[in-house]
Structure 1
Amino acid sequence: MMYEQQQFQQPMLKMDMRKKMERMSKSIEEEKLEMLDLSGMSLESLPSPSINLATICKLNLSNNNLQNIPESLTARLLNLMVLDVHSNQLRSLPNSIGCLSKLKILNISGNLMESLPKTIQNCRALEELNANFNKLSQLPDTIGFELINLKKLSVNSNKLIFLPRTTSHLTALRILDARLNCLRSLPEDLENLINLETLNVSQNFQYLDSLPYSIGLLLSLVELDISYNKIKSLPDSIGCLKKLQKLSVEGNPLTSPPPLVVEQGLHAVKEYLCQKMNDGYQSPTKKKSWVGKLVKYSTFNGYVRSGARERDQEREAFIMPEYRTMDGLASPRYMGMFSPRRLFSPRTYFSN
C-alpha cells in the first residue's frame, strides 16, 4: 500500500516541479520586457526602433503630433500590455491592433478618430479602453462578444448615437462612461452587466429621453448619473437597486418622481418608485404586471396579503413597505426566462 502511494506521489511531485519551472521562466521573461516612453516629443512620425519590439510591454506615444501608427509596427508588439497614444492627431488605429493579444490598457483619448477597427475585438485581454474626446459616431457591432475581460469603457465626449446591443455582453464591465454624446437610447437588455458599478450617461441633452426598465437589474450598480438629459420619468425598477448610493438626475424635466420627492434624496426616490410599482400591480384594470411575475418566481422579496374585500373581488395586492432587490433574476437559471424585452417592454408591461 505504501509503495502504491509513493508511485502516485512521484508523478505529482514532477508536475509541481514543472509548474514551478514554468513560473520561474515566465517571471524571467517578464523581467526582460521594457517600457518605452516617447511622449511629449512633438513627433510627427515614429523613428525606426533600435530595440526588439517584442520586448516592449508598455509604449507611451502620448502628447505628440502623430497622424498614423504603422501596421507593421503594431504587429510586432507581441508582448505589449499598455498602449498610450492619447493627445495626438490620429484619425484611425491600424487593423493590426488585433495582434495585441496581451494588451490590457488602451488609451486613445484626445484624437480625431471617427471609428474603431473591428479587429479591436481580438484584444481579448483588454481591461480598460479610454476613447474619450474623439469623433466616434459608432462602436464596432461585435465589441461585446469578445472583450470579455473589459472592466472600464470610457467613450465620453464623442458623437455616439447609440451603444451596440452587444454592450450588454460585457459581463466584467464595472464602469461605463458615455456622457457628452448624442445617445438616443440605451440597450434594452442590460441585465447581463452584473458587475457594473458606475453608469454615466449624463449630458446627452435633447437626445436621451428615456431609460430601459432593465436598468433595475443592474444589481451591482452603486452610482447612476443621468443628469442633463430629457428624461421625464424614471423606470419604477430603479427602486429595486439595493446597492445604489448616488443618483444624479438634475437637469431633466422629471415629472415622476416629482421634484419634491427628488429633493428629499435617494431613499425617498426609491420609496416613491416602489410605491408606484405597487400601485400599478393593484390596479383593477391592470391585473398582472411584471412585478407579479417576479414575485411568482421568487425574484422579488415581497409578500402578498389578501383582505376580505380583495378576496370577494378575487384580487390580491402586492405589499412592499421597503424597496426590495430582484436578487437572482440575473442568474443563469432565469436569464433566458426573464428577458427585459418580455418583462419590461411597453407592449407587455401588463398582460391579461
Structure 2
Amino acid sequence: MSMDTRNKRRMQAGSRRRRVIEEDENNKYETVDLSGMCLYAISNLPLNLAIISKLDLSNNNLQSIPESLTARLLNVVVLDVRSNQLNSLPNSIGCLSKLKVLNVSGNLLQSLPRTIENCRSLEELNANFNKLSQLPDTIGFELENLKYLYVNSNKLSFLPNSTSHLTNLRVLDVRLNCLRSLPEDLENLIKLQVLNVSQNFHYLTTLPYSIGLLISLVELDVSYNRITALPESIICLKKLQKLSVEGNPLVSPPMDVIKQGLDVVKEYLCDKINGRTHENSSKKTSLFGKLAKWGSFNGVNASHVDGREGLVTLSPRRSVDGLASPRYMGMFSPRRLFSPKS
C-alpha cells in the first residue's frame, strides 16, 4: 500500500471520528481534528474546507502545507500545525482573513511569509521552538489586533522596529534567542502586560529607556543576560509587580539592593536620578532625561527643584497615562508616521 493511500485512509478515518459541527443562527462550522495521526502529507481532504472554523493538524510529520489548502480555508479561526516538520508556511496563509489563532510552534521554520501581515484578525501567534532568524519587517504595521506574540527558543538577533506599533499587544515572549537589543521606541505598547526577554545570555547587554513608558506592564523578566545597569525609567512602571533580573552582572542597582525587593530597587534608581548615590549617570541626553525635563514622566518634573541645582523632586501634575489618551495616540499611528504628508 502506497504512502498516499495510507495518508488518505488515515485522514478519512480521522475526519469521521473527530468532526464536530458547531451551528449558529445562519451557518454551520466544523472543528476538524487530525492531530497525532502520523501524517506525512495532506492533500485532497474529503471535507468542505470553506466551513471549517478550527483545523488541528498538530503532532504529525507534515513537511509542507499545500497552497491550495490554506487558500480555501475561508472561515478558519484557529489553525494548529504545531509539532510537525514544516520548513515553511504557504504564502496563501495571507488569505485567512478571519484567522485569530495560529500555532506553528515546534517546527523547522527559518522565516515567516510576509503575507502573514494580511491576517488582520490575528490575535495570537505562537512560533516557539523554530529556527527563526528574523520576523517580517512590517509585521507590526498591519497586525493591529495581535495580543499575544510568542517567539521564544529561536535564533532572533533583533525585533523589527514595527514591533513597537503592536498597540494591542499584551504578552511578548522572546526568551531563549540571540537578541542584541530591543526596539528603542517601545512607548506605543501601551497595553503590554508581560515582557520576557530572558536567557539571551551574552547577547543582550542593555535595555532601552523607553521601557519605562510601558504603562500597563505587570511582569518584566530580563534574567540571564549580560545587563549591567537597569534604566532609571523603571521607577515609572506603576503597575509592575514582578521584576526578574537574576543571572545578570548588575552593577546598578547592585545585587544587595535587588534582593530587598522591587520597592527598594525603585528607591535606589530614584536616588540615582537625584544624585543621591555615588554613581553619576552619563546619559544626560538620554530619552529618560529629556522626558524628565519635559515633565512627561509621572511624578518627575524638572521644573521643580529642591533648593539644589539639578535635584529633581516628585510632582503629580502630569501623568505618563496622558500619552495613552486618544489625543496622543494619533501621534504614534503608523499611517501618520509613514504617510507621504509626514
Q: TM-score, normalised by structure 2?
A: 0.82
Q: Which residue of 1 aligns with 2:184?
A: 188
* Contact 1:299-1:328 within 8 A present in 2 as well: no
* Contact 1:177-1:201 within 8 A present in 2 as well: yes
Q: Which residue of 1 aligns with 2:242?
A: 246
Q: RMSD in angstroms over aligned alpha carbons? A: 2.7
* Contact 2:103-2:126 within 8 A present in 1 as well: yes
Cα gap change, 1:70 to 1:27, in 2 (>3 Å): same
Q: Which residue of 1 aligns with 2:163?
A: 167
Q: Which residue of 2 aligns with 1:157?
A: 153
The answer to whether structure 1 residue 74 and structure 2 residue 62 are counterparts is no
Shift of 1:261: 0.3
Q: Which residue of 1 aligns with 2:257?
A: 261
- Written as runs of structure 1 = structure 2, the 5 A alignment for 1:197-276 is 197-276=193-272
Shift of 1:201: 0.4
Counterpart residue identity of residue 266, structure 2:
K
Q: Which residue of 2 aligns with 1:327?
A: 321
- Counterparts of 2:294 and 2:179 in 1: how far apart (Å)? 35
- Counterparts of 1:154 and 1:248 in 2: how far apart (Å)? 19
Shift of 1:28: 2.5
Q: Which residue of 2 aligns with 1:4?
A: none
Q: Which has the higher contact order (CA 8 A, sep 6+)?
A: 1
- Counterparts of 1:62 and 1:71 in 2: how far apart (Å)? 18
State the secondary structure of the residue aligned to 2:163: helix
State the secondary structure of the residue aligned to 2:322: coil
Shift of 1:319: 1.7
- Counterparts of 1:264 and 1:195 in 2: how far apart (Å)? 28
2:143 paired residue among 144, 147, 152 = 147
Q: Which residue of 1 aligns with 2:52?
A: 56
Q: Which residue of 1 aligns with 2:8?
A: none
Which ranges in structure 2 are unaligned for 5 or more consecutive residues?
1-22, 333-342
Q: Which residue of 2 aligns with 1:95?
A: 91
269-278 vs 215-224, greater mean Cα deviation: 269-278
* Contact 1:202-1:225 within 8 A present in 2 as well: yes
- Counterparts of 1:288 and 1:197 in 2: how far apart (Å)? 28
Shift of 1:76: 0.3
* Contact 1:116-1:139 within 8 A present in 2 as well: yes
> Which is higher, the Rg of structure 1 or of structure 2?
1
1:300 paired residue among 298, 301, 307 = 298
Shift of 1:106: 0.2
Shift of 1:196: 0.2
The answer to whether structure 1 residue 43 and structure 2 residue 43 are counterparts is no
State the secondary structure of the residue aligned to 1:57: strand
State the secondary structure of the residue aligned to 2:265: helix
Shift of 1:292: 6.5
State the secondary structure of the residue aligned to 1:327: helix
* Contact 2:53-2:77 within 8 A present in 1 as well: yes
- Written as runs of structure 1 = structure 2, the 5 A alignment for 1:11-26 is none
Measured against aligned partners, the alpha-carbon deviations of 1:85-140 in whole angstroms (never above 9, x if no partner) come to 00000000000000000000000000000000000000000000000000000000
Measured against aligned partners, the alpha-carbon deviations of 1:222-265 in whole angstroms (never above 9, x if no partner) come to 00000000000000001110000000000000000011100101
* Contact 2:43-2:69 within 8 A present in 1 as well: no
Q: Which residue of 2 aligns with 1:277?
A: 273
Which ranges in structure 1 are unaligned for 5 or more consecutive residues?
1-25, 339-352
* Contact 1:242-1:325 within 8 A present in 2 as well: no
* Contact 2:126-2:149 within 8 A present in 1 as well: yes
- Counterparts of 2:264 and 2:320 in 1: how far apart (Å)? 19
